[in-house]
Amino acid sequence: TYLPLCRETFEREAVYIAIGIRPNGHKEVIDYCIAPSENVEVWTEMLQNMRSRGLKQVELFLSDGVVGMKTALAKTYPKAHFQRCLVHVMRNICNKVSVDDRETIMNDFKQIHRQPNKTAAVQTLHAFYDKWNKAYNHVIRNLKDIEPDLLVFYNYPKQIRPSIYSTNMIESFNNVVKRKAKPKAEFPSEQSLD
Protein backbone atom coordinates (compact mmCIF):
# COMPACT_ATOMS: atom_id res chain seq x y z
CA THR A 1 0.00 0.00 0.00
CA TYR A 2 1.10 3.64 -0.28
CA LEU A 3 1.23 6.13 2.59
CA PRO A 4 2.30 9.81 2.73
CA LEU A 5 5.86 10.29 3.93
CA CYS A 6 8.06 13.37 4.05
CA ARG A 7 11.72 12.81 3.18
CA GLU A 8 13.35 15.59 1.12
CA THR A 9 9.93 16.18 -0.43
CA PHE A 10 6.45 14.96 0.40
CA GLU A 11 5.68 11.69 -1.43
CA ARG A 12 3.44 8.69 -1.13
CA GLU A 13 5.76 5.77 -0.43
CA ALA A 14 5.26 2.06 -0.83
CA VAL A 15 4.76 0.01 2.30
CA TYR A 16 5.48 -3.62 1.45
CA ILE A 17 3.59 -6.06 3.66
CA ALA A 18 3.90 -9.86 3.72
CA ILE A 19 1.17 -11.73 5.60
CA GLY A 20 1.46 -15.43 6.30
CA ILE A 21 -1.17 -18.02 7.10
CA ARG A 22 -0.04 -20.94 9.24
CA PRO A 23 -1.43 -24.45 8.62
CA ASN A 24 -3.78 -23.91 11.59
CA GLY A 25 -5.29 -20.84 9.84
CA HIS A 26 -3.61 -18.21 12.06
CA LYS A 27 -2.68 -15.07 10.06
CA GLU A 28 0.22 -12.82 10.95
CA VAL A 29 2.38 -10.09 9.45
CA ILE A 30 5.68 -11.77 8.62
CA ASP A 31 7.56 -8.72 7.44
CA TYR A 32 7.14 -5.21 6.09
CA CYS A 33 9.33 -2.43 4.80
CA ILE A 34 9.05 1.11 3.47
CA ALA A 35 10.53 2.09 0.10
CA PRO A 36 10.04 4.97 -2.33
CA SER A 37 8.34 2.76 -4.95
CA GLU A 38 7.32 -0.81 -5.62
CA ASN A 39 9.90 -2.95 -7.39
CA VAL A 40 11.09 -6.54 -7.44
CA GLU A 41 14.43 -5.72 -5.79
CA VAL A 42 12.72 -4.69 -2.56
CA TRP A 43 10.51 -7.80 -2.64
CA THR A 44 13.62 -9.94 -3.23
CA GLU A 45 15.34 -8.36 -0.23
CA MET A 46 12.24 -8.96 1.90
CA LEU A 47 12.07 -12.63 0.86
CA GLN A 48 15.76 -13.10 1.66
CA ASN A 49 15.26 -11.36 5.01
CA MET A 50 12.35 -13.66 5.89
CA ARG A 51 14.46 -16.68 5.00
CA SER A 52 17.42 -15.49 7.07
CA ARG A 53 15.09 -14.90 10.05
CA GLY A 54 13.97 -18.54 9.93
CA LEU A 55 11.04 -18.86 7.51
CA LYS A 56 12.29 -22.07 5.93
CA GLN A 57 9.35 -23.16 3.79
CA VAL A 58 6.47 -21.48 1.98
CA GLU A 59 3.73 -23.64 0.44
CA LEU A 60 1.95 -20.98 -1.64
CA PHE A 61 2.79 -17.42 -2.51
CA LEU A 62 -0.05 -15.16 -3.65
CA SER A 63 0.70 -11.83 -5.29
CA ASP A 64 -0.47 -9.28 -7.81
CA GLY A 65 1.43 -8.95 -11.07
CA VAL A 66 4.72 -7.44 -9.85
CA VAL A 67 7.17 -8.06 -12.69
CA GLY A 68 9.89 -10.47 -11.61
CA MET A 69 8.13 -11.61 -8.43
CA LYS A 70 7.90 -15.23 -9.52
CA THR A 71 11.63 -15.29 -10.35
CA ALA A 72 12.53 -13.75 -6.98
CA LEU A 73 10.36 -16.29 -5.22
CA ALA A 74 11.96 -19.19 -7.13
CA LYS A 75 15.41 -18.10 -5.94
CA THR A 76 14.41 -17.84 -2.28
CA TYR A 77 11.68 -20.49 -1.93
CA PRO A 78 12.07 -22.81 -4.95
CA LYS A 79 9.43 -25.29 -3.71
CA ALA A 80 6.72 -22.66 -3.22
CA HIS A 81 3.80 -22.53 -5.63
CA PHE A 82 2.81 -19.16 -7.10
CA GLN A 83 -0.78 -17.93 -7.56
CA ARG A 84 -1.53 -14.70 -9.41
CA CYS A 85 -4.30 -12.65 -7.80
CA LEU A 86 -7.37 -13.12 -10.01
CA VAL A 87 -8.90 -9.83 -8.83
CA HIS A 88 -5.84 -7.93 -10.09
CA VAL A 89 -6.01 -9.90 -13.36
CA MET A 90 -9.67 -8.86 -13.72
CA ARG A 91 -8.78 -5.20 -13.10
CA ASN A 92 -6.07 -5.40 -15.76
CA ILE A 93 -8.54 -6.90 -18.22
CA CYS A 94 -11.04 -4.12 -17.46
CA ASN A 95 -8.42 -1.49 -18.25
CA LYS A 96 -7.81 -3.03 -21.69
CA VAL A 97 -11.34 -3.61 -22.98
CA SER A 98 -14.07 -1.24 -24.10
CA VAL A 99 -16.48 0.07 -21.48
CA ASP A 100 -19.38 -1.59 -23.31
CA ASP A 101 -17.81 -5.06 -22.93
CA ARG A 102 -16.54 -4.76 -19.34
CA GLU A 103 -19.52 -6.20 -17.50
CA THR A 104 -19.89 -9.17 -19.84
CA ILE A 105 -16.21 -9.98 -19.96
CA MET A 106 -15.91 -9.75 -16.15
CA ASN A 107 -18.91 -12.04 -15.66
CA ASP A 108 -17.32 -14.54 -18.04
CA PHE A 109 -13.93 -14.34 -16.31
CA LYS A 110 -15.45 -14.75 -12.83
CA GLN A 111 -16.77 -18.16 -13.89
CA ILE A 112 -13.18 -19.43 -13.91
CA HIS A 113 -12.81 -19.36 -10.11
CA ARG A 114 -16.35 -20.67 -9.53
CA GLN A 115 -15.76 -24.12 -11.03
CA PRO A 116 -15.90 -27.32 -8.94
CA ASN A 117 -12.41 -28.48 -9.99
CA LYS A 118 -9.33 -27.57 -11.99
CA THR A 119 -10.38 -29.49 -15.11
CA ALA A 120 -13.62 -27.53 -15.35
CA ALA A 121 -11.72 -24.29 -14.65
CA VAL A 122 -9.28 -24.97 -17.50
CA GLN A 123 -12.21 -25.66 -19.85
CA THR A 124 -13.89 -22.42 -18.74
CA LEU A 125 -10.67 -20.45 -19.21
CA HIS A 126 -10.16 -21.86 -22.72
CA ALA A 127 -13.79 -21.10 -23.60
CA PHE A 128 -13.11 -17.54 -22.40
CA TYR A 129 -10.10 -17.39 -24.76
CA ASP A 130 -12.19 -18.64 -27.68
CA LYS A 131 -15.02 -16.20 -27.04
CA TRP A 132 -12.91 -13.04 -26.61
CA ASN A 133 -9.81 -13.71 -28.75
CA LYS A 134 -11.14 -12.05 -31.88
CA ALA A 135 -12.10 -8.79 -30.14
CA TYR A 136 -9.23 -8.67 -27.63
CA ASN A 137 -6.32 -10.70 -28.95
CA HIS A 138 -3.77 -8.74 -26.87
CA VAL A 139 -5.69 -9.47 -23.64
CA ILE A 140 -5.96 -13.19 -24.43
CA ARG A 141 -2.28 -13.37 -25.37
CA ASN A 142 -1.34 -11.83 -21.98
CA LEU A 143 -3.61 -14.27 -20.15
CA LYS A 144 -2.07 -17.24 -21.95
CA ASP A 145 1.38 -16.02 -20.86
CA ILE A 146 0.36 -16.16 -17.17
CA GLU A 147 -2.00 -19.16 -17.38
CA PRO A 148 0.24 -21.44 -15.24
CA ASP A 149 -0.22 -18.95 -12.37
CA LEU A 150 -4.00 -18.49 -12.66
CA LEU A 151 -5.38 -21.83 -11.45
CA VAL A 152 -2.86 -22.98 -8.81
CA PHE A 153 -5.45 -22.44 -6.06
CA TYR A 154 -7.42 -25.43 -7.43
CA ASN A 155 -4.62 -27.69 -6.13
CA TYR A 156 -5.81 -26.92 -2.58
CA PRO A 157 -8.89 -28.00 -0.62
CA LYS A 158 -12.19 -26.47 -1.68
CA GLN A 159 -12.70 -24.92 1.77
CA ILE A 160 -9.71 -22.57 1.45
CA ARG A 161 -9.86 -21.73 -2.26
CA PRO A 162 -11.91 -18.53 -1.78
CA SER A 163 -9.16 -17.09 0.42
CA ILE A 164 -6.24 -17.97 -1.88
CA TYR A 165 -7.30 -16.95 -5.39
CA SER A 166 -7.03 -13.24 -4.60
CA THR A 167 -5.12 -10.87 -2.37
CA ASN A 168 -8.35 -9.69 -0.70
CA MET A 169 -6.99 -10.61 2.73
CA ILE A 170 -4.00 -8.30 2.37
CA GLU A 171 -6.11 -5.60 0.69
CA SER A 172 -8.36 -5.70 3.74
CA PHE A 173 -5.33 -5.40 6.03
CA ASN A 174 -4.02 -2.48 3.94
CA ASN A 175 -7.36 -0.70 4.43
CA VAL A 176 -6.98 -1.06 8.22
CA VAL A 177 -3.46 0.43 7.98
CA LYS A 178 -4.76 3.33 5.85
CA ARG A 179 -7.62 4.01 8.30
CA LYS A 180 -5.16 4.19 11.18
CA ALA A 181 -2.82 6.44 9.19
CA LYS A 182 -5.56 8.74 7.85
CA PRO A 183 -5.52 11.22 10.78
CA LYS A 184 -1.94 12.08 9.80
CA ALA A 185 -1.71 14.28 6.72
CA GLU A 186 1.83 13.00 6.33
CA PHE A 187 4.45 11.21 8.37
CA PRO A 188 7.46 13.47 9.07
CA SER A 189 9.99 10.62 8.88
CA GLU A 190 10.32 6.95 8.06
CA GLN A 191 10.74 6.29 11.80
CA SER A 192 7.35 7.86 12.59
CA LEU A 193 5.67 5.85 9.84
CA ASP A 194 7.38 2.72 11.15
Residues 11 and 78 occupy one common structural domain: yes
Residues 36 and 80 occupy one common structural domain: yes
pLDDT of amino acid 94: 95
- Domain-embedded: residue 162: no
Residues 142 and 78 occupy one common structural domain: no
Going by C-alpha positions, the residue among 51, 80, 66, 74 that lies closest to residue 164 is 80
pLDDT of amino acid 82: 94
Question: Which spans in 111-167 are helix H?
Answer: 118-132, 137-146, 161-164
Range of the domain at 123: 86-157
C-alpha span between 60 and 156 (Å, rounded): 10
pLDDT of amino acid 43: 87
CATH no. for residue 47? 3.30.420
Residues 90 and 132 occupy one common structural domain: yes
Residues 76 and 122 occupy one common structural domain: no
pLDDT of amino acid 9: 67
C-alpha span between 42 and 44 (Å, rounded): 5
pLDDT of amino acid 22: 82
pLDDT of amino acid 110: 96
How many structural domains does the chain have?
A: 2
pLDDT of amino acid 121: 97
pLDDT of amino acid 27: 86
Residues of the chain with pLDDT under 70: 9-10
Residues 10 and 78 occupy one common structural domain: yes
- Domain-embedded: residue 149: yes
C-alpha span between 57 and 80 (Å, rounded): 8
Residues 152 and 174 occupy one common structural domain: no
pLDDT of amino acid 3: 82
